[in-house]
Amino acid sequence: MNDPLDHDQATNDLIDEILELDFEDMVTSKDLRKAYQKKHLSDMPSREYYHNLLKMQAEMIKLQDWVKETNAKVLIICEGRDSAGKGSVIKRITQRMDPRVARAVALPKPTEREMSQWYFQRYVPYLPAGGEIVLFDRSWYNRAGVERVMGFATEDQVEQFFQDVTEFEKMLVRSGIILLKYWFSISDEEQQFRFLMRIHDPMKQWKLSEMDLQSRIRWEQYTKAKEEMFERTSITEAPWYIVQGNDKRRERLNCMAHILSRIPYAEVEQKKITLPERLFDPNYERQTLTDDLYVPKVF
């Protein structure tokens, strides 16, 4: 008979997994770490945060099971200011979910061929099929934001986008897709602080692109573009929801709670799983493998 998994060990493994993911919030500079802690005194205490995070993630598993059982299609669009935390929210949402059911999509810049296509065409292959949850880490709204502000799209192309996008999203909803659109918002001061953290942290410098730096210069232009985008694309079938992101922990929990509140999922009864006994062949002798097949034990 198999021994039950030790509860303390399981708990320790769970804590290690959480801390490993949250390590990205720790900065290497001692001075920056002190500055961050001083600036974020109102952040949710760790005990309260992790308790609620696990609670939300458990509900996300129930949502996942419901999506799989009912063959539902869920599409979650995540947009927002650079460094506003949308990537870390997506990670917490999908952390414990089955990657065959829930997946994140972050497309690179379009190829020359894709630039000649119908604008929405490159996104269509990534839309959810039945029993899938897809989270777009940036989406077709690039055209209303970065492409417009940086001059990568003409005003005619932007206007055509505004005329097409609401009809496109209405079609998605009519096809049975549950569509949620989130804008992750942070203050000007908080974005500047996070950019400085990235500049002085060698493990985060890769996150700073030329587009990120330009977003600091063009803060007001991005604000104006965002305001028009909200006005013209927040429709009854797919409204925008703004997630306040200055407090990363509350941002993650609030977004997850809102997603769960907007989808009419129900808990799916699970079959009881029994671990079968292993079969043994008394005539089988395990072969001895040569040492060069093994990865060296450096640690």
pLDDT given for residue 13 in this prediction: 63
> Helix axis angle, 7-22 relative to 46-70, nearest 10°?
100
Give me Rg for the CA atoms of the chain.
23
Report residue 139 as tokens. 């989406």
Most confident option among 25-39, 186-200, 271-285: 271-285
* 232 touches 224 (CB < 8 A): no
pLDDT score of 196: 79
Number of helices (H) and strands (E), helices first, in the chain? Answer: 11, 5
Inter-residue contact 70 to 62 (CB < 8 Å): no
Query: What local confidence, expressed as pLDDT, does residue 28 receive?
Result: 52
pLDDT for residue 97: 97
2 confidence band (pLDDT: 50, 70, 90): very low
From the list 216, 229, 192, the residue with the least C-alpha distance to 79 is: 229
Q: pLDDT category, 243, cuts 50, 70, 90?
A: very high
* pLDDT tens track for 81-96: 888 899 999 999 999 9
Looking at residue 193, its pLDDT comes to: 84
* pLDDT digit string, tens, across residues 220-235: 999 999 999 999 999 9
- Predicted confidence at residue 25, as pLDDT, reads 56
Is the Cβ–Cβ distance between 93 and 137 less than 8 Å?
no
Q: Provide the pLDDT for residue 43.
A: 74
Least confident of 12-21, 59-68, 78-87, 268-277: 12-21
Tell me, what's the pLDDT at 146?
A: 92
User: Which band of pLDDT confidence, cut at 50, 70 and 90, is reported for residue 1?
Assistant: very low
| Model confidence pLDDT, tens digit, residues 139-195 | 999 999 999 999 999 999 999 999 999 999 999 999 999 999 999 999 988 888 887
**Which two three-digit tokens encode residue 19?**
């801390």
The residue ranking higher by pLDDT, 202 or 82, is 82
Query: Which pTM was predicted?
Result: 0.85
3-class DSSP assignment, residue 134? strand
**262 in helix, strand or coil?**
helix
CATH number among 3.40.50.300, 3.30.70.360, 3.40.50.10240, 3.30.300.100, domain 29-268 = 3.40.50.300
Per domain, the residue ranges of the chain are 29-268
pLDDT for res 186: 92
